[in-house]
Amino acid sequence: MFSWVNFLTYVTVTSATPGPNNILSMNNGGQLGLKKSYRFNLGIFVGFFIVAFGTTMLSHALHAALPVIKKPMLILGALYLLYLAWTIFRSSEFEEKATKTKFLSGLLLQFINPQGYLYSLVSMEAFVLPYYQGNIPAITGFVLILTAIVVLFTLAWALFGQLFHALFTRYRKITNTVLALLLVYCAISLFF
């Protein structure tokens, strides 16, 4: 029998922990405020849904291909996270023109974020597919639940960034260093 408690516990804990989506949402919330960071979070929503749905629909094929694609995907994801860490570390102030690419940044992040692939794969393989294999409407519903929970936590992290904006601004270099180090940690943790 499907266990909502186990499923929701795993999904909530995994979504709430610091990762690329949450750290970058907090950074955007601190720089732009919650309202203006919606584009990035909308990009996360759309991108994560596509990745989670695709991962779920192709889970059996991914199992066969995972040893082949895992290492290049991890390397690409780690390099991108290190690039984001460097960008945050060396940034001094927000530039208004950067908001034009926030949706695309949130969207593209999902396609090279191995954490998102693994999160949706484990969630579906361990909790959903054993009970709902072949039931596309139910599976789609679970993908929407996963996506909604991910976006709720990215919004919470963006709100956290906005609420502590004055503190982050006052201690911008320290804040950017900590955020960059968290992203470096995320990049390193992909290999362990």
List, for residues 14-32, the tens digit of each pLDDT value: 788 778 898 889 888 888 8
Mean local confidence (pLDDT), 32-41 = 89
- In 3D, which of 177, 170, 158, 173 has the Cα closest to residue 33? 158
- The pLDDT tens digits of the residues spanning 52-71 come to 999 888 875 655 566 676 67
Distances (CA, A) of 56 to 74, 121, 122, 124, 146: 19, 6, 10, 6, 11
Q: Give percent above pLDDT 70 in the chain.
A: 86
Model pTM greater than 0.85?
no
3-state helix, strand, coil in the chain (%, to 5): 85, 0, 15
